[in-house]
Chains A and B, each alone.
Chain A
């Protein structure tokens, strides 16, 4: 992409312009591909791997050095163990520098000592395996300073284990596991419900709000700012405010409903099926109606008013004007908003995660990624769900560019 050459037949000026353009774009392309495209490739790679959270630390040899014993039995001891419980390490070697004040009497047979340099070849260390190397020594000078000197030079240890992230073990297990069982389909159902109702709800509410503010009056600016609050406030603040407002024990909403006689006992809004799913969808509508409202209002204010005057002359009633004049003009922005909101709602994670943590039948695909990877510690399965999400996204964007973007010039 970065080395594209303009076609032959273009003038030198034009070629220079293209070169400049790529020069200006290169930093952005580089940084975005590093942080977006690489992880995207990585998620496909990981989704075919049997990998858990614990596998993230690749197996490595660990060594601890100590000076032990006294007199004849004085020895430098290296305790080596394999950090992994089941992966073997091969070609493990240990190297260390001994200070001048140390004289080696006899060393472990796997080691060679030359000058102050110690080299040991330990070979293979089984999963969970331990080993010990002892070098018998005599010390000259003050024991404490020598001990310090010995421990000051850190032993170097190497060894190569099979890294599950980079080896060529692939499996379909992650996919078969997430697709089998009812859970996946219920997760998909929840996602579709949340996405469809969340999107449509936010659009309709936003349309209503936009019509309210589509006239000039004093305080219009203040109201518009106020109605945008849910969207600009940090999600963590508003989500916790909702959780506290609808708390079954000390929430004001329950107290109010009981007192109004709507219900006899406290309702667990975010903890019972299917109410929790409805509540997170309502939250989504509440939080994102400002966005649709803003865009619809911007579009409404650019509609030519002559048309309405003409319709008035012809005796059209207000609802007719809305249905036959405003709505067709708004269809473009509505369809774009619908698709964009649809995609973003489909991908929404924080809101549901903060409101219910995916409990009580509110687990969507995105929450499932987190659950699989961090609650069940199965990164492979989490990545497989992420791949499913990504495929849905590609499908949506295909539809988007195929059917929507031409009209709106996006």
Chain B
């Protein structure tokens, strides 16, 4: 049904936009353009990687990068064969090791550094560029071919961009935790690890456990999170079942209010909770925290679970009812075993929320013996405590979540998309 409409619209737009992009629909324009942009991307990537790996200054000369990229692009469009790719790669490696290349290298860099950077740049440029430009004809290209080339470029750029923005902060976190203060200030660019120190490399971690009580923070965070998961499930499973399956007045209103409640900002609730806890002596107690955390996660869990329960076939349950089971027995013997995957992903998700929670722990806990992990890390953020301790703490908090997440990635992504978005 959509087919004729799409085709009609497509035809109209073809006429309109072809005018603006028409000059680019030629291999000799498009090729060098994409080549220039890609070499710039590759040069920045190589320069940043080389700087971080060696601690030596590598910089990009933007104009030279664009120029050599355009040349490489033109060459690859002109002769898209494998031989040409090899020639361009060799030429680029040669140029990059000379002072006219796209990389500017500091005077104190060794020949090995330069050579590695030049070869790396040639490889990072030519191979992807060859894949991008190979299907592009030398002369006039159709709009289809042009856009395909642009999309191949954007895809390559996207992989580099996203991998960089995700990996760099985490890499900085790990590296910083393995260095000492003077090394950090001396050369912030040097991300290499001095493996010769052996176990001494992890001294900030061992100090956190021996001097800063991180063992107890870890344990506190762990059991608080587990308790939160259990309490959340205990409340949300029956609630979600009722909303998903049973007919009662106010059901529609109820499923809306779940959504509304989990949009209420914590900071609005935090003040009255702080006041009430101060007056009843619940502030600074683990009990108070365990009371509050499940309430923040129950709406999310309820929302995720009711979505899943709705998707289960009602006929099985009805068969159970016909066979004389009570509703509660049906839930226990039929619904719950069927929803084990959903329960697992909800549990993981709730665990993650409780483990990562910062605001309430920060406001309600003052006594270092009762800190959760996140609260403990916040207490490391002071000018007297060296940076690497703060980052070691961050690594300690991140690793369990990451391990859990990577191990159960399929579960988690399913759980996340099953009907919840938690901010």
Contact = CB atoms under 8 A, between A and B. Distances in A.
Interface of A: 1, 4, 6-7, 14, 17-18, 20-22, 24-25, 27-28, 31-32, 34-36, 38-40, 42-43, 46, 56-58, 165, 208-209, 211-212, 221, 223-230, 232-238, 240-242, 244-245, 249-252, 254-256, 259-261, 286, 288, 291, 294-295, 298, 307, 310-311, 314-320, 323-325, 337, 340-341, 343-350, 354, 366, 369-370, 373, 379, 382-383, 386, 389-390, 393, 397, 401, 405, 410
A14 B241 CA distance: 16
Contacts of A36: 261, 264, 269, 295
24 contacts: A24-B246, A25-B242, A25-B254, A32-B299, A35-B295, A40-B269, A40-B272, A221-B409, A225-B409, A232-B412, A237-B394, A241-B173, A259-B57, A259-B106, A286-B165, A314-B7, A316-B7, A317-B147, A320-B14, A325-B2, A347-B423, A349-B265, A366-B267, A393-B263
B238 interface: yes
A237 B377 contact: yes
Given A18-B247, A40-B268, A311-B10, A233 B401 contact: yes
B292 interface: yes
Contact of A397 (B263, B352, B377, B391): B263
Interface string B233-251: 0011011011100111111
B78 interface: no
A294 B416 CA distance: 8
A241 B394 CA distance: 8
B59 interface: yes
B413 interface: yes
B397 interface: yes
A248 B97 CA distance: 32
Interface in B208-257: 235-236, 238-239, 241-243, 246-251, 254, 256
Given A256-B51, A318-B151, A21 B6 contact: no
Given A244-B176, A340-B421, A349-B359, 8 more contacts: A21-B247, A34-B295, A40-B269, A237-B377, A252-B191, A310-B2, A325-B2, A350-B358
Given A39-B276, A237-B394, A366-B265, A225 B406 contact: yes
A38 B275 CA distance: 12
A410 B257 CA distance: 11
B358 A235 contact: yes
Interface of B: 2-3, 6-7, 9-10, 13-14, 47-48, 51-52, 57-60, 106, 143-144, 147-148, 151, 155, 158-159, 162-163, 165-170, 172-173, 176, 184-185, 187-189, 191, 235-236, 238-239, 241-243, 246-251, 254, 256, 259-261, 263-269, 271-273, 275-276, 278-279, 291-292, 294-295, 298-299, 302, 327, 352, 355-356, 358-359, 373-374, 377-378, 381, 387, 390-391, 393-395, 397-398, 401-402, 405-406, 409, 412-413, 416-417, 421, 423
A34 B359 CA distance: 20
Q: Which 5 A-B pairs have CB atoms at the shortest separation, nearest pair first? A: A344-B423, A347-B265, A237-B394, A39-B272, A18-B248
B3 A17 contact: no
Nearest to B292: A35
Contact of A252 (B52, B57, B243, B291): B52
A139 B259 CA distance: 70
Nearest to A366: B267
Contacts of A255: 187-189
B423 A341 contact: yes
B401 A232 contact: yes
A22 B185 contact: no
A256 B48 contact: yes
B405 A46 contact: no
Contact of A256 (B159, B189, B272, B401): B189
Contact of B60 (A260, A341, A346, A401): A260
Contacts of B167: 226
B264 A393 contact: yes
A199 to B, nearest CB: 11
Given A24-B241, A236-B397, A244-B387, A295 B417 contact: yes
